[in-house]
Chain A
Amino acid sequence: MQEAIKVEQLSKSYGNLLAVDNISLSVKRGTVYGLLGANGAGKSTTIECILGTKQADKGLVSVLGCNPRKDRRKLFQKVGVQFQECDYQPEIKVSELCEETACLYKTPADWRELCTQFGIGSKTKNAVNSLSGGERQRLFIVLALISNPELVFLDELTTGLDTKARRGVWKILSNLKEKGLTIFLTSHFMDEVEALCDEICILKTGKVVFYGTVEQAKATSGCDKFEDAYLMLSGEEVDGE
């Protein structure tokens, strides 16, 4: 099976607001896929419909050949998720959160090693509350990778990280991709998208406005820089330019 994720004609609305409008996409195994768009364009809703944490109004979703709502327990042995908004028990320590997450999987990764890789190895005895924003963000990436997943969802993965930490995260993700991991991410940093993503999809008010590679995006828009291409394709160009 070549496709890690297949989505066909997915729609989801909240009341009158059509958050996701007839989206189709497919993600090949072993690639990095970027879902882009402004705040409120429907990225998080799309991810949640793919994961099955929200029920789509219509459309088909298949993740690693499974239906995420029916085969939840089987599927999430192989899938890691980092949500944009996630919380943790008050007063929990890093080691406890990692241990509690690792114990849910049949073949978990060594979380101490992951923490060290992500530069929070010395913080495992600290309370999660006491970590800085960047450290906490890295901890949540660690949690998404604890299952030794075949596929990982990272929603705004490097928000809150400094430049050096972002580069570090990119490097680790690239290495994991070499080993066959499929990555589905959203990001507001176009340098990151350019460095990591094999294919991208740009959403605007719930609709797909571009689908292809970074190079194709530049060619279609006629821009040299990817960030300009993104702004033009997503219709987010700054007024007065």
Chain B
Amino acid sequence: MRSFLILFKNELKLNIRNMNMVIFAVIMPLIVLVILGLLNGTKLAAEGAEYTFMEQSLSALCAISICAGGLMGLPLVVSEYRERKILKRFQVTPVSPIKLLMVELSIYIVYCMVSMITLIPAAMIFWKVTIHGTWSAFLGSWLITMISTLSIGMMVGGVAKNAKSASVIACLLYFPMLFFSGTTLPFEVMPEAMQKIVSMFPMTQGIQLMKVTFLGLPVDNIGLPVIVMGAVTILCTVVAIKCFKWE
């Protein structure tokens, strides 16, 4: 445990020094929040809706950092460490691969948390956003969305041949999920066929679940998102650990 904490502290410092994630996972969601807030203020999501546009969008904003960390940050850092032979140096020490992966995973969990706890108070203070559902249901949905997305990142970092192919795979996952899962383009405006395809993204399921739990809408089918995200998490974690390569 002591070595986990020291590794975590140092790796987090290095990650912050690098600034990429600070910008993409913390500052960018805040900028999007401000833009949406200035454009929409406190107006309702639709005529007769019981919640505002900002309340409807908040879940998707919380997902930006999850996307950035899980589909960009995590796969790139793991594959870069392998390519630069930093993992090889760890290979000739007593550290276990699982511990190293958990250290990196925890760092991105911290980013997602920081992003959420800056977004929600800001939205509450400036645009009078309130939660209509329960915090526990919303945080539960956020947690499972985050863990499933980060597990994808861990797997990509684990199986990619080098940093370059990791970055290609990361882009192939990151941009479609960012645009089509409801993070930027609302799910509701997509054609039905497209909705079916993007429903298979764990991110889409996650955002939908976060949205209904935040807005307090009736959850008619909680089984599907939980099963999709749970299956993704288990599959990706197993592959990431089984296929872990030092070099």
Contacts and interface: CB of A to CB of B under 8 A. Distances in A.
Contacts of B161: none
A89 B86 CA distance: 7
Contacts of B17: 91
A85 B247 CA distance: 13
What's the dominant secondary structure at chain B's contact region?
A: helix
B96 A73 contact: yes
B3 A103 contact: yes
Nearest to A77: B94
Contacts of B95: 73, 104
B222 interface: no
Contacts of B7: 100, 103
A237 interface: no
Given A83-B85, A89-B81, A53 B92 contact: yes
Contacts of A72: 91, 94
Contacts of B91: 53, 72
Interface centre among A51, A73, A81, A100 (most CB of B within 10 A): A100
A60 B26 CA distance: 52
Size category of the binding interface on chain B = 20 to 34
B196 interface: no
Contacts of B247: 53
A30 to B, nearest CB: 21
A159 B51 CA distance: 68
Given A73-B96, A104-B3, A86 B14 contact: no
A86 B92 CA distance: 12
A101 B84 CA distance: 17
Contact of A76 (B13, B18, B93, B246): B93
Interface in B143-177: none
B132 interface: no
Contacts of A101: 93
Contacts of B6: 99-100, 103
A105 interface: yes
B242 interface: no
Contacts of A104: 3, 90, 93-95
A89 B92 CA distance: 16
Contact of A89 (B14, B88, B94, B96): B14
Interface centre among B7, B10, B89, B92 (most CB of A within 10 A): B92
A91 B18 contact: yes
Contacts of A85: 85
Contact of A86 (B11, B88, B96): B88
B87 to A, nearest CB: 10
Given A53-B247, A100-B6, A103-B3, A86 B85 contact: yes
Contacts of B90: 104
A83 B86 contact: no
Nearest to A78: B94
A100 B90 CA distance: 10
Interface of A: 51, 53, 72-74, 76-77, 79, 81, 83, 85-92, 96, 99-101, 103-105, 143, 147
Given A81-B92, A83-B85, A100-B6, 7 more contacts: A53-B92, A87-B84, A89-B14, A89-B86, A103-B7, A104-B3, A105-B93
12 contacts: A73-B94, A73-B95, A79-B92, A87-B85, A88-B86, A89-B11, A89-B14, A89-B86, A103-B7, A104-B3, A104-B93, A143-B89
